[in-house]
Amino acid sequence: MAALCALCACQGEAESDLQYYTCEHPYETVSVTPPPADAEVRNIIFMIGDGMGLEQISCAWVLNRGKLNIDNFPVIGLSRTYCSNNLVTDSAAGGTALATGSKTDLDHIGMAPNGEPLYSMFVKAQEAGKLTGCVTVCHLADATPCDFCCHNECRYNSDAIIADYATCGVDFIAGGGRDYFGPKRKDGRDIVAEMKAKGYNYATTDEELQQAPLPVLGLMSDDNLPVAAERGDLFRHMTARCLDLLSQAAGDKGFVAMLEGSCIDDWLHANRIDLAMEETLDFDRTIGDVLQWAEKDGHTLVIVAADHATGALTLQDGDIAEGRVGVEFGNEGHNGLAVPYYVWGPGSQAFGGILENCELSRKISSFIK
């Protein structure tokens, strides 16, 4: 009995260390019907929740009272995330695998371990005559958007990486990071001016973005976008504008877009469950918008995945009816666990099961024709 009492006391002490968060404003989720599985795939929308493993999705599900838009996805699998030189990946190597279909070393941006460039699904799309778009919540010098648009052996070579946007040919680029495009560059280059000279229409506010025709460069903040509670529906508006412009201009040729919920990862690194979950829930609301758009279109394959999970998060307490979670973080970094991926729309029957992250990318790219 003494041993049992000691165990109870230990459990109580551990519970006091839990970090609690309650979602005060749950939202209604959408219900969508996929088009016929054999419908032609014209468009691909690849949504990446940076750091968003199963544990983060589970917490978000509790917070929104037991429902998420991601629940609409009929095909679910697991993606192994390790990179070519480490069991635990970073966003540069993990994002490169998702973008290019090839694993690489830590810190590499669109580049193989031997220094050769790796070309993303955007390049294949451009060669097929499709349009491309990239929307992110972080600054555009961050790893994941760069993995789709740039090439460098080190993710921290921000001046050189940002310069690649001027030649990447992506039709719609929107995120944060004005400082990286000019004011704080060590080389003195004004990448905004260079891109405007190539025909890009530059926007710095939501209002300007909604008016700008293709091609678009939208730099909506000096660094990352404001946190979810402060930016409101900005990410959702950026996404909607991207999809509408690309679909109108591409017609039957179609487009490929990458949409990233970037700052889920940032706040998991900081062990802030409140801000991490607000980012996750905003990402899920955006997933709902994308699914409704894709349902109307009828020819769009939608994939949601993560590059890795962050924070060694464990869900240990909570209440679905109250939208409350009690969690504990195990670290401030990434881990080596497999992460879930979700697929909806025509072509989804080709997915499912356990895949390497690079295999998932190659399956997605196989529909770019």
Q: Name the residue among 135, 213, 121, 220 with its Cα closest to residue 173.
A: 135
Beta bridge partners of residue 304, listed in sequence order: 47, 342
pLDDT for the residue numbered 4: 32
Q: Which domain holds residue 55?
A: 18-365
Which CATH number belongs to the domain containing residue 297 in this structure? 3.40.720.10
Q: Name the residue among 366, 321, 324 with its Cα closest to residue 348.
A: 366
pLDDT for the residue numbered 11: 38
Confirm whether 91 is a catalytic residue: yes
pLDDT for the residue numbered 183: 75
Question: Could you tell me if residue 287 is inside a domain?
Answer: yes
pLDDT for the residue numbered 17: 83
The structure tokens listed for 358 are 């690079």
Place of tokens 């976008």: 225
pLDDT band of 6, cuts 50, 70, 90:
very low
Question: Could you tell me if residue 2 is inside a domain?
Answer: no
As for how many domains the chain has, the answer is: 1
Encode pLDDT of 153-174 as tens digits: 999 999 999 999 999 999 999 9
Residue 280 burial (CB < 10 Å; 0-12/13-18/19+)?
Answer: buried
Angle among Cα 13, 19, 22 to the nearest 5 degrees reads 130
Angle among Cα 116, 308, 228 to the nearest 5 degrees reads 110
Question: Could you tell me if residue 359 is inside a domain?
Answer: yes
Question: Could you tell me if residue 13 is inside a domain?
Answer: no
The average pLDDT across 92-99 equals 98
The average pLDDT across 6-14 equals 36
Question: Could you tell me if residue 12 is inside a domain?
Answer: no
Catalytic residue among 79, 91, 158, 361: 91
The structure's pTM equals 0.95
Q: Is the pLDDT of residue 5 over 70?
A: no
Tell me how far apart the alpha carbons of residues 106 and 61 are, in angstroms, rounded to a whole number.
31
What is the rounded average pLDDT for all residues in the chain? 95
Encode pLDDT of 189-245 as tens digits: 999 999 999 999 999 999 999 999 999 999 999 999 999 999 999 999 999 999 999
Question: Could you tell me if residue 269 is inside a domain?
Answer: yes
Q: Is the pLDDT of residue 33 over 90?
A: yes
pLDDT for the residue numbered 141: 97
Question: Could you tell me if residue 132 is inside a domain?
Answer: yes
Question: Could you tell me if residue 10 is inside a domain?
Answer: no
